[in-house]
Amino acid sequence: MSERLVSFETDGDLGIVTLRRPEKFNALDIPMLRALEAALDTAEAADSVRVVLLCGEGKGFCAGGDVEAWSQMSAADFQVQWVRYGHRVFDRLARLRQPTIAVLSGHALGGGLELAAATDFRVAEAQVKLGFPETSIGVVPGWSGTQRAVRRFGAQTVRRMALGGELFVAAEALVLGIVDRVVETGNAFSEARAWAGKIAERGPLATEAAKLMIAVAEGEESAAATEALASGFIALTGDLKAGVDAFKAKQKPAFSRS
């Protein structure tokens, strides 16, 4: 992964993914999306990591998609290389096995808010603004701002941002359920880290299973989550061992339903 664009580091049982393009307020382009995807893959593969924090370097959490990166694309490339690929990366974040917390120490606008919406929890500093300003430049939210954001924040709240152009400060966003906690400027990371520590004390497998079940109920995913939960259960049974042992020995398995 590109350490310049997105970094991943561990601190005990905590994983920290950081967007590192502060000169552009961490606006996303294709190389940055690729680096983010790689960082998420690394985070999920880290057995010791119980909770993942998503941070932005500098004054902004994420200013959304870099207009210069997509404005010159053809319609076909915009659809496939930009919108569909962005969806894939954001879905990767939403479906990470570990609980995730977005650390909003700066504004989260457009794709930046869509990115934050893909995490399980959001901690915002008091000065932060959040919204979907895309229609002001003639485009629409393209990375699930009208889908996942509606499921998580409610249709009317998204209407106010995407249609009405409202930007909410952190305190307003807390009331509307867009963020989960609001802290003073400079304290978002420490608050998120402390919260992550409490989550990490809970049973890791139970926490991962609970996250999957909530995702199914929310409509985030169903087929993969259902099969993952069922397969995980089956993997603990004697029947699986009997079947695999018999397959290797080229014999008929003797299942015991144990």
| pLDDT tens profile 205-237 | 999 999 999 999 988 877 777 777 787 777 788
220 lies in the same domain as 139: no
105 lies in the same domain as 224: no
Is 9 labeled as catalytic in the residue annotation? Answer: no
Tokens describing residue 229: 């939960």
Which pLDDT band, with edges at 50, 70 and 90, does 114 fall under?
very high
43 lies in the same domain as 168: yes
- Residue among 37, 57, 134, 220 flagged as catalytic: 134
pLDDT in the model for residue 2: 45
Q: Which residues in 119-148 are b (16+ Cβ under 10 Å) and which e?
A: bbbbbbbeebbbbbbbeeeeeebbbbbbeb
How many domains does one find in the chain?
2
The four Cα atoms 95, 97, 99, 105 give a dihedral, to 10 degrees, of -60
pLDDT in the model for residue 143: 86
In a domain, 131, yes or no: yes
64 lies in the same domain as 93: yes
33 lies in the same domain as 17: yes
Q: Indicate which CATH number applies to the domain containing 18.
A: 3.90.226.10
Is 114 labeled as catalytic in the residue annotation? Answer: yes
108 lies in the same domain as 138: yes
In a domain, 258, yes or no: no
234 lies in the same domain as 107: no
Range of the domain at 208: 204-249
- Residue among 57, 114, 125, 208 flagged as catalytic: 114
For the chain, first and last CA: distance in Å?
44
In a domain, 144, yes or no: yes
Rounded to an integer, the average pLDDT of 176-202 is 98
41-92 pLDDT, tens digit each:
999 999 999 999 999 999 999 998 887 877 787 888 777 777 888 889 999 9
Mutual angle of helices 30-45 and 85-94, in 10-degree steps: 30
Give pTM, 2 decimals. Answer: 0.90
160 lies in the same domain as 220: no
Which pLDDT band, with edges at 50, 70 and 90, does 27 fall under?
very high
In a domain, 140, yes or no: yes
Sheet holding 108-109, edge to edge: 108-109, 129-131, 168-169
Helix H or strand E segment including 6: strand 6-11
